[in-house]
Chains A and B, each alone.
Chain A
Amino acid sequence: MSYLEYAVKSTPSGVRKVLYMNWPLTLLLVSVACAGFLMLFSVAGGSWTPWAEPQMERFGLGLVVMFIIAVVPIWFWRNMSVVAYLSSIGLLILVELVGTVGMGAQRWIDLGFMRLQPSELMKVTLVMLLAAYYDWLPAHKTSKPLWVILPVLLILIPTLMVLRQPDLGTSILLLAAGGGLMFLAGVHWAYFAAVIAAGVGLVTTVFKSRGTDWQLLKDYQFRRIDTFLDPSTDPLGAGYHITQSKIALGSGGWNGRGFMQGTQSRLNFLPEKHTDFIFTTLAEEFGFVGGITLLILYGLILVFCMVTALSTKDRFSSLVTLGISLNFFLFFAVNMSMVMGLAPVVGVPLPMVSYGGSAMLVLMAAFGIVQSAHIHRPR
């Protein structure tokens, strides 16, 4: 019996597909989303509006989307990768033309019932395209320069477009996720070493030039970089938010101040408390115990994605699953580092918890692809 025959035979069909889903992953997603509803309820001062209720509706919609995508065979999604990537690029161009300006950047297209953020979509479609590319590329060509330059271009085009919006956070995530995928696909170590060395060299040169005759950046540009890297140099401006965020987090202590008892968030000292800084509210009200629980839930999501990726023998399935889980990891890692004062403030929400429609929907769709890979995996 050939491998293909074996693969087709063992794939479930019809309603039975649902039984073969990655259920632990589904349950983890639901628990994280529930934690999110709870926090949105709390930051609204004990009210389901204006955040918790719409968020629940969107999560419901997201679950439906995930199930639909999950039952569609994974090879269909592989074949759709190029189309998906190109449509995302198209949307990015569209947002440039007709997008709504929010928070000083052009990010959304207003669809009426929700605001679509094409850069969110891009994170998933980029991963899909790269996974499909390495699935198609014969293994021995993976590290050939020409075949390395092509995916680099595929990554850089959307990254630069997002950077133009300007949305530094998302463009860094795109770059990291794309790079990560190339690493998983088996591109030779030397390329990564070269890029990292070149990056470090460039940054060092720029900073070394400060205060010398051949200074590469203007003084004010350096000062802006200083504030970006260390907000405490500007305690009333950029530093204010991060300081308040750290106070909220630290004051939570071991058990937290109690549900809806966080003074920092209740008295509005926290900025963006329903979106980017929602983790601080959680950490303030539920303390170290609450924070670590969420972190463990996130970790388990990564673990179950890894299980899917390693249990399938299909290259596209593995790569796309790992790419999505990497994306997810980058999301929460950057967000948490930011609110703990470990990383500069870039607008990255906490996945599945922060209030926000398109990010949630796109994530659920992406996990739908992971589920599809799980159901349709060759055993």
Chain B
Amino acid sequence: MKQPKQKAPGPAYKRLPRRALILGGVQAVFIGGLAARMRFMQVDQADEYRLLAEENRVNIRLIPPSRGRIYDRNGQIIGQNSPSYRIVIVREDAGDINQVIAKLSELIPLTQDEIERAKSEMRRSAPFLPVTLADQVTWEDISKVAVNAPALPGVTPEVGMTRQYPRYEDFAHVVGYVGPVSDYDLSQIEDPEPVLRIPRFQIGKVGLEAKQEIKLRGKAGAKRVEVNATGRVMRELDRQEGEAGADLQLSVDADLQQYAQARLAGESAAAVVIDCENGDIRAISSAPSFDPNLFVRGISVADYRALTQDNYRPLANKTVQGTYPPGSTFKMITAMAALEAGVISPSSTVYCPGHLKVGSRRFHCWKRGGHGTVDLGLSLKRSCDVYYYDVALRVGIDKISDMARTFGLGVKHDIPMSAVAAGLAPNQEWKQRVHGEDWLVGDTANASIGQGFMLASPLQLAVMTARLATGRSVTPRLVRSANGIEQPSGAGEPLAVNRNNLEQVRKAMFSVSNDRRGTAYRSRIIAEDFRMAGKTGTSQVRNITKAERAAGVIRNEDLPWERRDHALFVSFAPYDNPKYAVAVVVEHGGGGSKAAAPVARDIMLQALYNGTPPLEAYPSADRERIKEQQKLLEGDRRPRARPGEKDRA
């Protein structure tokens, strides 16, 4: 190697140590800066950053609460949570998705729709998140998937909870149904609970399920989990259990409800049974009905169209939502108003020639030839219209309207069902306010027999009857207890009416179905202890012209269905010690005595005997026919298919 040629330090090199020290100083300052910054972040701001790190790491996951169950008054299940099976797929574990799905669809039926939906969901979500392929899968399909698990990587059966209504059609209108939370639902709720944002979380959509949603839902629990940057759960840190929803016990008797539903079958009708003692609704059925389970699952377009296009409107809850002119069933109210006002006494009479001229218009009695001289008892028993025209004109509409409200008509009863209607008990002020017209005497005449503006729901008619029967302000009660806590009774305070007047009206109602000439005599109850008092009603849905009246009123049977009269019947029994009040409305059923009274009587007997009544309770002439009918209804009430056994569409 060559000799090293190294230069001796000269003047120019003197600068080097100086500049090296300058540069070293700059470096030292910089390092000091880094240290200061580190101190600032790790000592002064450590808590803040620690918090941020925790926020990063810890995720709060909600645990959906189990929904409260719904029972009838005897503890029979009406709404419950049952396991539902679904098949989920995890993209990460599946490998070739298309191949796995193809294999799976050979095993179980999968629609193209389901496959497409699952695929698009997979594209959007993280690869380790399970995506539902098929929901509401039968047990057999689940077993098939489980057996073939090795051939189906990433596919697992999962069990969840879904609402199930074991009484099918019977409680569709009372309990309603649940469904997954929709965007619309969320927009309706102010500050929605986070639990509502859980995919497929079910909330009440109509009926009791919707009205008592908060009680039934319960409170969501939460678990804290550690997640990594991609959101995968690494482990559970702790959990706080939620609170299950309250179990609700209805006042309704499921067996009676089922009977009523079966008895109404084939008609567009409604029936309400109220316990006179405490206002408990023992049955509240609207026919025809529908299977609420269809809605939980997501109803098919065809099924839904069939329901909406049915003339008998199965989706409408006629018991509280439907309002009808009460017709002659309103006459008790007119009578009470007149008696209380002192305009008439029970014995004062009116002469009925078959019509009454009010102003320039002639108001007809339903009986062409008239009833002759009638007093209060006779007027109710024979349902004379002229008597009530005459009396009402003397009392005035305002007192009648007030009396209607006293008996629960034209006021909204607070029960947790959807679309509870207030009905209408009009007065002068109302017509001025709504129609901007003066009240006419003709309006009073119409109102006196429950026609014209007068509207009432079957529930209101049942409440009215219960109040007439007991003289107390009975209010309906649908929910008997929530989580075992008894709800306030609906027995009510005594009404501010004269006992004697009420007794006269009740006596007249008794004769309606027990006097040989009463309009409901044919639908009487023979059993001595259970004698029934009632009142028929037939309310017109059309005007009868002068020409038609001259030519003879067209019989109901000859009219198209939707123009026929509504048939109504209200009753209470036993007469001496009222237990139940029943109201029945058969839409376009024709005469109340023929179409509604027998139904009400049958339901009443079923309630009074708490089961199928003995034939001895019926009039002897009817027994053969009743026996047939009981057999038929018994067949209708056979046990229905169990859940899960229905085929997937």
B611 interface residue per 8 A CB criterion: no
Distance between Cα atoms of A184 and B27 in the complex (Å): 14
Q: Which of A4, A250, A269 contacts B49 (CB 8 A)?
A: A250
8 of the cross-chain contacts (CB-CB < 8 Å) are A4-B6, A75-B2, A186-B19, A247-B53, A249-B42, A250-B48, A253-B46, A340-B37
Distance between Cα atoms of A75 and B42 in the complex (Å): 47
Q: Are A184 and B31 closer than 8 Å at their CB atoms?
A: no
Per-residue contact bits, chain A 138-152, to B (CB 8 Å; 1 contact, 0 not): 111010000000000
Q: Are B4 and A252 closer than 8 Å at their CB atoms?
A: no
B434 interface residue per 8 A CB criterion: no
A263 interface residue per 8 A CB criterion: yes
A214 interface residue per 8 A CB criterion: no
Distance between Cα atoms of A299 and B37 in the complex (Å): 16
A158 interface residue per 8 A CB criterion: no
Q: Which of B4, B5, B45, B228 contacts A267 (CB 8 A)?
A: B228
Distance between Cα atoms of A73 and B3 in the complex (Å): 11
Q: Are A253 and B50 closer than 8 Å at their CB atoms?
A: yes
- Chain A nearest CB from B112 CB (Å) reads 36
Q: Which of A247, A268, A310 contacts B20 (CB 8 A)?
A: A310
Q: Are A251 and B16 closer than 8 Å at their CB atoms?
A: no
Name the B residues within 8 Å of A4 (CB-CB).
3-4, 6
Distance between Cα atoms of A139 and B10 in the complex (Å): 8
Distance between Cα atoms of A264 and B49 in the complex (Å): 11
Q: Which of A142, A246, A298 contacts B12 (CB 8 A)?
A: A142
> Smallest CB-CB separation from A287: which chain B residue?
B42
B240 interface residue per 8 A CB criterion: no
A230 interface residue per 8 A CB criterion: no
Name the B residues within 8 Å of A288 (CB-CB).
38-39, 42-43
Distance between Cα atoms of A198 and B215 in the complex (Å): 75
Name the B residues within 8 Å of A8 (CB-CB).
3-4
A161 interface residue per 8 A CB criterion: no
Q: Which of A252, A295, A378 contacts B6 (CB 8 A)?
A: A378
A113 interface residue per 8 A CB criterion: no
- Provided the pairs A186-B16, A254-B42 are in contact, do residues A329 and B4 lie with their beta carbons within 8 angstroms? no
- Provided the pairs A251-B53, A326-B23 are in contact, do residues A246 and B41 lie with their beta carbons within 8 angstroms? yes
B488 interface residue per 8 A CB criterion: no
- Chain A nearest CB from B347 CB (Å) reads 90
B560 interface residue per 8 A CB criterion: no
Distance between Cα atoms of A148 and B22 in the complex (Å): 21
Q: Which of A285-307 contact B (CB under 8 A)?
A: 287-288, 291-292, 295, 298-299, 302, 306
Q: Are B20 and A322 closer than 8 Å at their CB atoms?
A: yes
Q: Are A247 and B27 closer than 8 Å at their CB atoms?
A: no
B253 interface residue per 8 A CB criterion: no
Distance between Cα atoms of A339 and B52 in the complex (Å): 17
Q: Which of A142, A254, A292 contacts B46 (CB 8 A)?
A: A254
- Provided the pairs A3-B8, A183-B19, A184-B23 are in contact, do residues A251 and B52 lie with their beta carbons within 8 angstroms? yes
Q: Are A291 and B9 closer than 8 Å at their CB atoms?
A: no
Per-residue contact bits, chain B 11-31, to A (CB 8 Å; 1 contact, 0 not): 111011101100110011011
Name the A residues within 8 Å of B56 (CB-CB).
244, 247, 263-264, 267, 269
Name the B residues within 8 Å of A247 (CB-CB).
49, 52-53, 56
Q: Are A315 and B43 closer than 8 Å at their CB atoms?
A: no
Q: Which of A261-296 contact B (CB under 8 A)?
A: 263-264, 267-269, 283, 287-288, 291-292, 295
Q: Are A7 and B4 closer than 8 Å at their CB atoms?
A: yes
Q: Are B1 and A73 closer than 8 Å at their CB atoms?
A: yes
- Chain A nearest CB from B41 CB (Å) reads 4
- Chain A nearest CB from B430 CB (Å) reads 62
4 new A-B contacts at CB < 8 Å, known A251-B46, A252-B46 = A75-B6, A248-B53, A250-B45, A318-B16
User: What is the size, in residues, of chain A's interface with B at 8 Å between Cβ atoms?
Assistant: 58
10 A-B pairs closest in CB distance:
A139-B12, A250-B49, A251-B53, A267-B228, A253-B46, A288-B42, A186-B15, A268-B229, A251-B49, A250-B41
Q: Which of B11, B20, B30, B228 contacts A306 (CB 8 A)?
A: B20
Name the A residues within 8 Å of B485 (CB-CB).
none
Interface residues on B, range: 35 or more
Name the B residues within 8 Å of A309 (CB-CB).
20
Distance between Cα atoms of A4 and B9 in the complex (Å): 12
A220 interface residue per 8 A CB criterion: no
Q: Which of A326-344 contact B (CB under 8 A)?
A: 326, 329, 333, 336-337, 340, 342
- Chain B nearest CB from A25 CB (Å) reads 15
- Chain A nearest CB from B635 CB (Å) reads 65
Name the A residues within 8 Å of B24 (CB-CB).
302, 306
- Chain A nearest CB from B144 CB (Å) reads 38
A224 interface residue per 8 A CB criterion: no
Distance between Cα atoms of A284 and B383 in the complex (Å): 92
Q: Which residues of B are at the interface with A, using a C-beta cutoff of 8 A?
A: 1-13, 15-17, 19-20, 23-24, 27-28, 30-31, 34-35, 37-39, 41-43, 45-46, 48-50, 52-54, 56-57, 226-230, 234
Q: Which of B34, B227, B234 contacts A337 (CB 8 A)?
A: B34
Distance between Cα atoms of A315 and B6 in the complex (Å): 8
Distance between Cα atoms of A268 and B227 in the complex (Å): 10
Q: Which of B9, B19, B49, B54 contacts A313 (CB 8 A)?
A: B9
Per-residue contact bits, chain A 177-195, to B (CB 8 Å; 1 contact, 0 not): 0001001111000000000
- Chain A nearest CB from B193 CB (Å) reads 28
Q: Which of A4-63 contact B (CB under 8 A)?
A: 4, 7-8
Distance between Cα atoms of A302 and B1 in the complex (Å): 32
Distance between Cα atoms of A337 and B50 in the complex (Å): 20
Name the A residues within 8 Å of B17 (CB-CB).
310
Name the B residues within 8 Å of A267 (CB-CB).
56-57, 226-229, 234
Q: Are A283 and B226 closer than 8 Å at their CB atoms?
A: no
Name the B residues within 8 Å of A378 (CB-CB).
6
- Chain B nearest CB from A237 CB (Å) reads 15
Name the A residues within 8 Å of B37 (CB-CB).
340, 342
Q: Which of A345-359 contact B (CB under 8 A)?
A: none
A314 interface residue per 8 A CB criterion: yes
Distance between Cα atoms of A243 and B20 in the complex (Å): 36
Q: Are A299 and B28 closer than 8 Å at their CB atoms?
A: yes
Distance between Cα atoms of A348 and B2 in the complex (Å): 40
Q: Are A180 and B38 closer than 8 Å at their CB atoms?
A: no
Name the B residues within 8 Å of A298 (CB-CB).
31
Name the A residues within 8 Å of B28 (CB-CB).
299
- Chain A nearest CB from B610 CB (Å) reads 65
- Provided the pairs A183-B23, A322-B23, A333-B30 are in contact, do residues A315 and B13 lie with their beta carbons within 8 angstroms? yes
Distance between Cα atoms of A247 and B48 in the complex (Å): 9
- Chain B nearest CB from A85 CB (Å) reads 20
- Chain A nearest CB from B523 CB (Å) reads 76
Q: Are A314 and B6 closer than 8 Å at their CB atoms?
A: yes
Distance between Cα atoms of A314 and B13 in the complex (Å): 10
Distance between Cα atoms of A139 and B7 in the complex (Å): 11
Name the A residues within 8 Å of B8 (CB-CB).
3, 313
A96 interface residue per 8 A CB criterion: no
Name the B residues within 8 Å of A185 (CB-CB).
16
Q: Are B49 and A263 closer than 8 Å at their CB atoms?
A: no
Name the B residues within 8 Å of A283 (CB-CB).
38, 42
Distance between Cα atoms of A247 and B54 in the complex (Å): 10
Distance between Cα atoms of A289 and B548 in the complex (Å): 106
Name the B residues within 8 Å of A180 (CB-CB).
23
Distance between Cα atoms of A318 and B20 in the complex (Å): 9
Name the A residues within 8 Å of B43 (CB-CB).
253-254, 288
> Smallest CB-CB separation from B228: which chain A residue?
A267
> Smallest CB-CB separation from B56: which chain A residue?
A269
- Chain B nearest CB from A79 CB (Å) reads 8
- Chain B nearest CB from A344 CB (Å) reads 15
Distance between Cα atoms of A75 and B43 in the complex (Å): 49
Name the A residues within 8 Å of B10 (CB-CB).
139
Name the B residues within 8 Å of A140 (CB-CB).
12
Name the B residues within 8 Å of A264 (CB-CB).
53, 56-57
Distance between Cα atoms of A310 and B10 in the complex (Å): 15
Name the B residues within 8 Å of A73 (CB-CB).
1, 4
Task: From B2, B7, B23, B42, name the one whose CB has the most chain A CB atoms within 10 angstroms.
Answer: B42
